Structure 1
C-alpha cells in the first residue's frame, strides 16, 4: 500500500491524498493561512485511531457473537503541549446493542488493543525521507 500526496494548486495549501482507489484531501486551517477546505493532517491521525477502534470492535463482536449493532467513537485532541512532546487524545466510546455489563467491559478493553492504538502507544516508528529524481523540477 502506498499513499501519494500531491499539491492541488501552486497558490494554496490543499493537497490530494491518494490511498489505493480512494482520494482524500488535506488542507490547513484558515488560521494558518489555508482555506480550511479539508481536514488537516492531525485530523487524519486522530481519525485513524477512532476508525480503528470502531472497526476492531465490530470485527471482535462478530467473531465472539456479541450483539453489538453499532459503535460511536468521539476523539478529542489536546495538542496544547505538542511542542513539548505531549499529544493527548481523549476517546469516548458509545456501544450500541443489547449488551451485558460484562460484554461492555470486554469491548472497552478490546478497543484499547486496536492496531492503531498499539502503534501510537507502543511502537518505535522510523521515518526516512528521500528526494526523488525530479525533486527540483517545475
Structure 2
C-alpha cells in the first residue's frame, strides 16, 4: 500500500492524503516562491518532520525510562538558500517539560540525534539542535 497520495489542486496547492489513517494535509507554495503561504510548504513539512521525529523518538525511549515528556514543545526554524533553492539550515529547539538526571538527559539527547528524519537529511543541510531542560 502507498504511504500517501498527493493530489495537485491548482494554484500551487496540494492535498496529501495519508493512506493508513485518511488524514489530509494541505500544502501551499510559500509567498516568496509564488504561492499563497496559507498552509505548510513542502519544505516546511521537511523541517517540521525533523522536530516531530526527534520528540517522538525521545518519547518512545522515555517510556522505557519511566519518564513522561507530555507538555514538551519543539520550535523549528527553516532557512532557505536562494540558488539552488533548497533548505540550507534547520534550527530545532527542544523545550523539555521534565526535570531529570544528567544521565537521563544524555540518553534522551542521543536518542533524538539518531532519529530517522535527522539521519535521512542531506549532509549539506546545517542542523542546529538545542535542548532546554527544566
Structure 1 and Structure 2 fold alike (TM over 0.5): yes
Q: 5+ unaligned residues in a row in structure 2: which ranges? A: 124-134
Structure 1 counterpart of 2:14: 15
Q: Deviations over 1:77-126 (max 9, x none)?
A: 2223662877221211111122122212221111101111112257xxxx
CA-CA distance at 1:19 after TM superposition: 1.2
Answer yes or no: is the 8 Å Cα contact 2:48–2:76 preserved in 1: yes
1:117 aligns to what?
A: 118
Partner of 1:65 in structure 2?
A: 66
**What is the TM-score normalised by the length of structure 1?**
0.74
Q: Greater relative contact order: 1 or 2 (C-alpha under 8 angstroms, separation 6 or more)?
A: 2
Per-residue deviation at 1:31? Answer: 3.1
Give 1:108's aligned residue.
109
Higher strand share: 2
Residue correspondences, number: 120
| Distance in 2 between residues matched to 1:86 and 1:33, nearest whole Å | 17
Q: Which residue of 2 aligns with 1:80?
A: 81
Note the residue ranges of structure 1 that are not aligned, 5 or more in a row: 123-138
User: Residue 81 of structure 1 contacts residue 87 of structure 1 at CA under 8 Å; is this kept in 2?
Assistant: no
Distance of 2:34 and 2:85 partners within structure 1: 23
Contact 2:12 2:35 (C-alpha < 8 Å) held by counterparts: yes
